[in-house]
Amino acid sequence: MHEPTGSRAIVTIPNILSALRIACIPVYAALIVRHTTTFDGLVLLAVVLATDWVDGAVARRTGQVSELGKILDPVADRLAIAFGIVALVIRGAFPVWAAALIVGRDVIALVGGAIALAGRGVRVDVRPIGKIATFSLMLAIGGVSWGNLGFFPAAAFSVIGWTCFVVGIVEYYAVALLYAADLRRAVAR
């Protein structure tokens, strides 16, 4: 499934929303690592992650789909997740091994994709299963961290978080294989 063709516009409402999400990253990361503001940081991280769909929905509804937005939105997602995970690992709320599985896949996909596509002007569209995997992992990161930090109801959030982690990480690596096949086909063309 291909997304709508994007315009060359740079300053659009969806791109501004994506940029604002990126601008919030250092704020929630700093809040999370401080013991006295961890709760506030988690709430801001949740807001940033929960608004993941907003920029894309606004772009489609207003006809402001742009080539920049097709890149900026997933970059905002990856950066938000990566920096959130790093802050949560530093705070001791998320296990290093689980963080490595998520961030490691993103690094491999980013480096591999960049090398394969360098100078070719080819782009691989986001797949719906990729969005589902990202959403599952967003729930997992929040749930596991919330539970590990002991916020009420910790036990319920831990169960939800680890369930979403198992489902999400399987989806995440499965979609990586699909993207690798898409990339191979795109380069062959």
132-189: per-residue pLDDT in tens? 998 999 999 999 999 999 999 999 999 999 999 999 999 999 999 998 888 888 777 7
Q: Per-residue pLDDT for 128 more than 80?
A: yes
Q: What is the mean pLDDT of the chain?
A: 89
State pTM to two decimals. 0.85
Residues β-bridged to residue 66? 7
Helix, strand, coil fractions of the chain, as percent rounded to 5: 80, 0, 20
Note the pLDDT tens digit of each residue in 20-53.
999 999 999 999 999 999 999 999 999 998 887 8
Q: Which value, to the nearest 10 degrees, does the dihedral of the CA atoms of residues 177, 180, 182, 188 take?
A: -150
φ, ψ (nearest 5 deg) of residue 98: -70, -40
- Asked if residues 90 and 33 have their Cβ atoms less than 8 Å apart, the reply is yes
CA distance 13 to 19: 10
Eight-class DSSP state of 140: H
CB contact set of 136 (below 8 Å; sequence gap of 6+)? 164, 165, 167, 168, 171, 172
88: CB partners within 8 A, 6+ apart: 32, 94, 99, 141, 145
Q: CA distances (Å), 106 to each of 61, 71, 103, in order? A: 29, 15, 5
pLDDT-derived band at 119, boundaries 50, 70, 90: low
